[in-house]
Structure formats: structure tokens, C-alpha cells
Amino acid sequence: MHDIRQIRETPAAFDAALSRRGVQDASQALLKLDESRRAKIAAAEAALAERNAASKLVGKAKASGDEAEFERLRALVADKKAEIAKLEEEAKAEDEALRDALMSLPNLPLDDIPDGQDETDNVELRRWGSPREYPFAPKEHFEIAEAMGLMDFAAAAKLSGARFVVLKGALIRLHRALAQFMLDTHVEAHGLTEVWTPVLVRDEAMLGTGQLPKFAEDSYRTENGWWLIPTAEVTLTNLAAGEILDASALPQRYTAHTQCFRSEAGSAGKDTRGMLRQHQFEKVEMVSVVAPDQGLAELERMTGCAENILKALEIPFRTMVLCTGDMGFGARRTHDIEVWLPGQGAYREISSCSLCGDFQARRMNARYRPEPTAKPEFVHTLNGSGLAVGRALIAVIETYQRADGGIDIPAVLRPWMGGRSVIAADGSLA
């Protein structure tokens, strides 16, 4: 959420930054609403002062026997009371309207973010590894895994419909090994604190990280009002909601492995084959809560944590800086990590790491004290996938596919696979 005081002070700069994200002249309506709200607050305060002054004179008029003056003052007090109530109600309504308007606007991009409309305008930051060459035509993950009998979309459709999958046997063990490897690496090598959180949250949590009110259709809501989280970013970031942290407690770095749920609204016709885009999936998430001057360095650190997972798996990837038209709603700068999928012959996103500045912190009132006696300031927040487990499974299947229809197990995962090195074409571990 944006600071209306800052918009008031620098409306042209605010409009220029938002125009890079396709929002034009946003300050005009905001400032008009803010001016009206503040005018009503001032009028209510003036009316309150008049009422208080009249109230003090009522008793004197009564005592002096001036009945006419007594009645006039009493009527004035009643009128001012009604006027104050009306002004306060109107100011409250405009305050809520202003808050809703501010919450509907995306974050401001940093100055060095490339301008652009979509993913074709993203800029490559770096890449690691080279795509393998195969003595056969590489297959897509679902062709390999379905032939093994370990990936079943028909069974999932019978249970739940489209965009679900049933995984079996050695393949789900590989999936589990990936998640375990990611968590252990983030905790032991990267210094993150592992957290287990609910996957059902209240409106306030979704509002805090920006999924509400604008993106309600992208998530699932239960009949009793809970939301199924689209990512553990929601729960991990909201651990700081309403808190005033000591500067010595920062940075806070968390990781969690959770089920995630997304409606995939607007994705009809995209990635309909395979398990690249699912309604239910697992992700190992990273969240950092930092002081404002730590944000950019922390983004590089977080991106490096995600990259290290792919380096250990020996899977080629490239890291992209997203353009203004492709960044998420709450981000000021985003690094997407795209993994090479031999079956598709393309790089596809496997992690997205974003610096949000104080955008989420304002929404959830998450603050810290720079000094013990200092006024609280908003923290800065970051989030990133470390990694999407299902997409990592896809990358392993396609990268390590064999001519005989089997899959080599990456060396780094073998401790979680009972020391086995291959999933054979018949689905057995060897």
C-alpha cells in the first residue's frame, strides 16, 4: 500500500512511476478524496470546538435565568452534535474509500527496472550451465512419467477435475526428496529458519501480502471464510503483522514447505498438458523481513539461495530481471529463475524472488525501531520460491531422462532416495 503523505508531497513522481506499470494519473483521484476527507475531519474538529464552547455557556445561561439564551445554546449543542456525527461518518467513508483505492494500486518499480509489456521484454541477468545434448529426441516430463505408470492425470481428473495429478511410487519419493533437499539446504547452508504454518488464513493475511482485494479470483475460499494459501509468502510474511521489532532482530529469514492452491484464473489454454500449471502444488518458500537499507542486498542473497539449489542439481538455468509489465503486483524488483526443460526446448520459470519494499509492511502494519527510543518505521519484505517442488521434479525428469525410458537420479538427491541412482523405465528404483 502507498503512503498518501508521500503522494501529497510528490504527486508527479508518483504518477510517473505508476505510469510505467500502465496506471495513468492515479494521484488526481487519490488527492481529491484525501482533500475532501481531511476537510471533513477539520470541519468536525471545528464543530466540536463550537459545541464544547456552547456547552460551557449553557449552565451559565440557566443560572442567570436567561431562558432564551439557554434554549439557543442547547439547540446549538444539539445541532453541532448532529453535524459532528455526520462529518465523522462521511470522513470515515472517504477514509475507507481512500484506503481501498491505495490498496488496489501496484507497487512502484525501482528506477532501474526495464520498461516493457510482458515477458518478452525481460532482461537476462546471468545464466548458469549449458543445455545437455542427447543422442535421442528428448521427451516432455509427462511422456516419460506416464510411460512408467507413475504420473496419472486420468485418475486425478476422476477425483478432482483438470489441472491435478496423481503421483506414485518412486516418482513421489523423488518429489519428496527434492523438497527435503531444498529445506535442509536452506536451513543448513543458507541460514534460514524453517517454519511450519497453516494453509488456511483469514482475510487480513491475504490483504497484508496483496492477494486481496484485487486478486480474489486467483485463490480459493472455504465456505466458512478461510482462504487456501496460494503460497507460504502469505503466512511467513504475516508473522511480522502488527509487530514492532527491535533492529537487532533483523534480518529475519524464513523458509517453509507447504501445499499451495491457485485457481489459475485466466490461464485457460496455457500448459494444459503435464503438471507445469496445477491447482494444487507444493513449494518451498523463502521470506525475509529486513531494515530498509538491506533490501537490495537481501534480494541478491535470496536469489542466490534459489540458484544454489539448481546448481547442486546440475540443471541449467538463467536469471532474469522482470520488466515493469511482467512484475507482480507487490514487487519493486523481481528476479525470475528459469530452468531449461529439454522436452520443451525452452527456459521456464521455477522461482520468482521479489523485493517489495514497505508495500506489504504498510498493509499489515509491520514495523521496527531503528534505535531503542526511535519512532517505529516500516520494515521491508522479500519473498521467493526456493523452489517450486513440482517444477523442480519436471526439470529433473526432463534433464536426467535416459534413452531406455528411465531417469537418472541427481547425485545430490540420492541420500533421500535410499542411495538409489536410477528410476528404471518400469518405475522401479535401482
| Residue-wise pLDDT tens digits, 245-297 | 999 999 999 999 999 999 986 677 777 789 999 999 999 999 999 999 999 99
Cα(210)–Cα(327) distance, rounded to whole angstroms? 13
- The pLDDT of residue 400 is 98
- The pLDDT of residue 116 is 97
Tell me the average pLDDT of the chain. 95
Task: Provide the 10 A C-beta neighbour count for residue 180.
Answer: 16
pLDDT at 233 > cutoff 80 = yes
Which candidate, 23, 16, 105, 114, places its Cα nearest to that of 324? Answer: 114
Burial 354-378 (b: 16+ CB within 10 A, else e): bbbbbbbbbbbebbbbeeeeeeebb
What digits encode the pLDDT tens for the residues 135-178?
999 999 999 999 999 999 999 999 999 999 999 999 999 999 99
Q: Which residues form the catalytic set?
A: 262, 277, 349, 352, 391
The secondary element (H helix, E strand) that includes residue 76 is helix 67-103
Which candidate, 379, 295, 313, places its Cα nearest to that of 351? Answer: 313
Specify binding-site residues for ATP.
262-264, 349-352
pLDDT band, residue 68 (cuts 50/70/90): confident
* Domain annotation for the chain: domains and CATH numbers: 4-103 (1.10.287.40), 119-423 (3.30.930.10)
Specify binding-site residues for L-serine.
231-233, 262, 285, 383, 385
Which candidate, 57, 58, 56, 50, places its Cα nearest to that of 79? Answer: 50
- The pLDDT of residue 69 is 79
Cα(238)–Cα(26) distance, rounded to whole angstroms? 28
- The pLDDT of residue 266 is 67
Out of 48-62, 365-379, 396-410, pick the least confident: 48-62
Cα(251)–Cα(355) distance, rounded to whole angstroms? 14
Specify binding-site residues.
231-233, 262-264, 285, 349-352, 383, 385
Cis, bond preceding 11 (omega within 30 deg of 0): no
Percent of the chain with pLDDT over 70: 99
Whats the size of the chain, residue-wise? 430
Out of 67-71, 339-343, 361-365, pick the least confident: 67-71
